[in-house]
Amino acid sequence: MSLARRPASELPGDPAQLRLVYSHGHPAVPYEDEDTLEHWRVSIRAYHDEEEECADGCTDACQQLIDNGSEAGWLRLWRLRDNTGADRWMVADAQSGDLESIAATVLDDGEYSDAFQEIIDCPVGDLLILDRVFLARPWRGFGLGPVFAAEAIRRLSGGCCAVAAEPGMAEWPENRDEVNDADRATAKAKIAALWESIGFHAFHGGVQLLDTSLQESIDLHRARRKDLEDLSAAYRAHLEGRPALPELAVTPPASPATPVPAATRQPPAPAPEAEAEPGDGLAAAASLSDLQRKCTFSGWSPGDRAAALAVAAQATHDTDLRQLAAQVKHVHFGLRDAWTDAITFPGRLFNVHPFRENPAALGPLAGLWVYGSNLNGRYRGRSHAVGGDCQHARPLTPDTERMTLADLLDLTSFWEWNGPSCSFCHGWSGQRLTPDQHTHYLTVLAGHQR
């Protein structure tokens, strides 16, 4: 399963000849947080082959490239050490908001949370954090990010019970206001899929975890190495003017000769028209394709994926999703979140302002079913959305509250500054919109923005 999108002929060099150079420094006697949080920088470097002569003859610059190479990219990782006597959450918070977000998700009162211990096979040891992977533009689009991330994790994860990552925007335009929620969600989903290809699984609040004790990550690491070898072979074939090896063809592999048991057979791919809906995370027409896309690069079992897709196909505009959730209770928790995200949307993606100002504008949206953990404000604390969209989101269970969007807009207490609405996920999730609802929503939104 190659993750490459660009042809090997566009590579600036042989990717198999790149080298990863690891650097970490610390004082002989660590001070402050040095003993608890280790920073590792991995430089991805391209070197000039000392036995290769340039067409116009080598220069002093070539010798520099022979000796030191040039940087094609880099990775940033952190090791959060256990049992140092320091509060790991405070140490992470002092370093950056990104590290604090991860630490807050996996830790509870200084120890690994119950949810973390439930899914990590041996939750004892340090935590490695994959913070950033950067590639220079000429090297992007060939599926190299997961390859190098897997290599770095293999060498730095000794003594770590898990590796954590939180996918997000890798680069921002000069004007950040140009990036909307849909852009961020798309970027997050793409990067999450890349990390899933090396063994990460969704945890909570956008954080992904890789269990270092599982064979899965070893097998996926070998698969990514094979991807690199195949890409290198295709590049060399291009230089020599010969066809690439057969296994690099873009045609999909042949179907297995033996029939697939009905219990594990996956539903057919969604019709092309399902992809025609705007990728705003709101349209029900994209539910199956969104879930299928997340399943493609995941390590979830075929049986779990087939079950989740089959249950997702049962959802209609008036289905009580709490009842459907009981049918996927047995699948991997990351897949449960992906299933929920595919048939619902978090309130933060939906602009309620036009409808709060004029409830009569709801039209077909009045009967839209919404879900949350505390919509009525009966319990202490705020209401949160369902699924894996934000660290505050909750799983969809029979205890999840449900009401129509019209009823929710009538709850003045929900929208007050100190009401139960979570400021991150906006406190609720909606059932994905039917074509009529989606068209009406876009029409009202367009009129409101004039």
pLDDT digit string (tens) for the chain, length 450 residues: 555 578 889 999 889 989 999 999 988 888 778 889 999 999 999 887 655 666 566 666 677 777 777 899 999 999 999 988 899 999 999 999 999 999 999 999 889 999 999 999 999 999 999 999 999 999 999 999 999 999 999 999 999 999 999 987 655 555 556 667 776 777 788 888 899 999 999 999 899 999 999 888 899 999 999 999 999 999 888 887 755 544 333 333 333 333 334 333 344 444 333 333 446 789 999 999 889 888 876 777 888 888 999 999 999 988 999 999 999 988 887 888 899 999 999 998 999 999 999 999 999 999 999 999 989 888 777 888 998 776 677 889 888 999 999 999 999 888 886 678 887 788 899 999 999 999 999 999 888 766
pLDDT at 54: 63
Whole-angstrom Cα distance, residue 204 to residue 115?
9
Residue 450 tokens, joined: 């004039």
Evaluated on CA atoms 400, 404, 407, 409, the torsion sign reads positive
Q: How far is CA 271 from the centre of its chain?
A: 25
Q: Tell me whether residue 178 is exposed, middle or buried, using C-beta atoms within 10 angstroms of its C-beta: 0 to 12, 13 to 18, 19 or more.
A: exposed
Helices 88-95 + 97-106 axis angle, to 10: 160
pLDDT at 297: 66
pLDDT at 415: 86
Residue 140 tokens, joined: 């992007």
Whole-angstrom Cα distance, residue 197 to residue 213?
17
Whole-angstrom Cα distance, residue 426 to residue 207?
19
Residue 45 tokens, joined: 């470097």
- Tokens 């036995």 belong to 51
Evaluated on CA atoms 51, 54, 58, 59, the torsion sign reads negative
| SS3 assignment, position 48 | coil
pLDDT at 331: 85
Rounded to whole angstroms, the maximal C-alpha distance in the chain is 78
- Position 258, amino acid: T
pLDDT at 104: 95
Contacts of 187 (CB under 8 A, 6+ apart): 167, 168, 169, 170
- CA-wise closest residue to 415 among 325, 331, 352: 352
pLDDT at 249: 34
Cβ–Cβ < 8 Å for 302, 264: yes
Residue 146 tokens, joined: 């997961």
Residue 84 tokens, joined: 């140092």
Residue 412 tokens, joined: 């003045």
Torsion, CA 278, CA 280, CA 286, CA 290, rounded to 10:
130
- CA-wise closest residue to 38 among 135, 147, 157: 157
Helices 302-312 + 287-296 axis angle, to 10: 170
Which uninterrupted H or E stretch holds 19?
strand 19-23
pLDDT at 262: 37
pLDDT at 173: 53
Buried b / exposed e across 301-320, counting CB within 10 Å, b at 16+?
Answer: eeebbbbbbebbeebeeeee
Alpha-carbon distance values, 129 to 133, 314, 376, 439 (Å): 12, 38, 38, 42
Cβ–Cβ < 8 Å for 299, 220: yes
Domains and CATH numbers, the chain: 8-25+32-233 (3.40.630.30), 284-450 (no CATH)
Residue 211 tokens, joined: 């269990």
| SS3 assignment, position 163 | strand
Q: State residue 187 phi and psi, 5-degree precision.
A: -60, -40
Whole-angstrom Cα distance, residue 230 to residue 261?
32
Whole-angstrom Cα distance, residue 399 to residue 325?
11
- Tokens 């070898």 belong to 229
Instruction: Please spell the DSSP secondary structure of 173-190, one letter per residue.
Output: -SSGGG--HHHHHHHHHH
Order across the sheet with 160-165: list the strands.
19-23, 37-46, 70-80, 126-135, 160-165, 208-211, 201-202
